[in-house]
Amino acid sequence: MSHLPVDHPLRGFYRGLALLTGVGLIAFGIAGWIQTSSLSFFDQSGKTVLYLSTNPAFSVLSLVVGIGVLIATVVGRNLDVATNTALGAVFILAGLVMLCVIRTDANYLASSVRNVNVSFVVGMLLLSHGLYGRVSRHRPRVTA
């Protein structure tokens, strides 16, 4: 990990994007849960919520991951870096898996091509914050 940048000038910007990503995931999870609560948990047809296809399982998963991203980002202390790097990679891999199972019986999260695209974008946002958000232990004090 020594090759990753430390104290990047845009750290605050990337941290803000990670915070907004977490809030977006939470909002989608809540809206999805409210609108799909009448469906079975792993309903493969799902409903469209905020232009994405979802079912109760995907809504709960989005809510849990969003809360995790939000907590890690607020805590900081490089916990957010490790969490967002790992979750960014997971989102990209999940997008690839969703792409493979869209029109099969294994589509347990009611995925669509839009979900795949959003998963890639969210994964890249979290991965960017994870790779550029590290802070050193001993930051130099800036005097004015």
According to DSSP, residue 108 is labeled T
Tens of pLDDT, residue by residue over 80-132, are 889 999 999 999 999 999 999 999 999 999 999 999 999 999 999 999 888 88
**CA-closest candidate to residue 18, choices 86, 66, 89, 78:** 66
Q: Which amino acid is at 23?
A: V
Kindly report the pTM of this predicted structure: 0.85
Q: Please give the Cα distance from 139 to 117 (Å, whole number).
A: 37
Q: Please give the Cα distance from 106 to 98 (Å, whole number).
A: 9
Q: Please give the Cα distance from 51 to 48 (Å, whole number).
A: 6
